[in-house]
Amino acid sequence: MTEKRITIVEKILDANDRLASENRRRLNENTIFAINLMASPGAGKTSLILATIHALLDQSVPIGVIEGDTAPVTIDADKISAVGMPVVQINTGGECHLDAVMVENALDQLPLATLDLVIVENVGNLICPAAFKLGTHSNVLIASVPEGDDKPYKYPNIYRGLDVLIINKIDLLPYLDFDMDYFRQGVEMLNPGLKTFALSCKTGEGLEAWLSWLQATKPS
């Protein structure tokens, strides 16, 4: 029974990976840089997306957003739409992650020919999203200070597959028991030399470094 279950899971992941490759090809054809943005609930995914949009408005960088939620609510999508960027809402029907099929369907609804950047806001979860490729170019995780400094030790898989780590809500460091050295040590053991940005979406501290990386990485 266990072997059969493992085989089924492997087939599901193989099929997902093939479609993720097709999503990547489609993004590349349109010269779009795409990010898979992951985090636990409340870490600041939507806040970072909004801060990024506002900062790049003056530079005329068209951004499309794919919002993943487990329930049919449009709270985050409405915030993106209110600032004038195209957004597609995905209701996963209770699933704890997005997959390549969902992203493919969302790409069909975005004006790809007009976009430079697509940000996929994955479902708030530190386990499931790590297993499913979407076809994006970079996996980015937001870890917020209020979550605690033990998350790399408790959720190692999601840290291993990252290209960028963002430590958000650093404005709360004076008020919380968060050992930055302990946190970074855990990250370094799992993903040596991981590109990391410590910032606050609320105050704007540290955002410039994130934006500079984004501008330097996306296709011109």
Q: In what helix (H) or strand (E) does residue 142 lie, and over which residues does it extend?
A: strand 138-144
Q: What is the pLDDT of residues 26-45, one digit of tens each?
A: 999 999 999 999 999 999 99
Query: Is residue 8 scored above 50 in pLDDT?
Result: no
Cα–Cα dist 125/127, whole Å: 6
Residue 31 pLDDT: 96
Q: What is the pLDDT of residues 164-186, one digit of tens each?
A: 999 999 999 999 999 999 999 99
pLDDT (mean) for 138-161: 97
Give the SS3 label for residue 186: helix
Domain regions of the chain by residue span: 2-217
Residue 59 pLDDT: 81
Tokens of 183: 């946190």
Share of the chain above pLDDT 70, in %: 94
Using a 10 angstrom Cβ sphere, with 0-12 exposed, 13-18 middle and 19 or more buried, the burial of residue 109 is: middle
- Could you tell me the pTM of the whole model? 0.93
Residue 182 pLDDT: 98
| Average pLDDT score over the chain | 93
Q: In what helix (H) or strand (E) does residue 65 lie, and over which residues does it extend?
A: strand 63-69
Which architecture, in CATH terms, is 2-217? Answer: 3-Layer(aba) Sandwich (3.40)
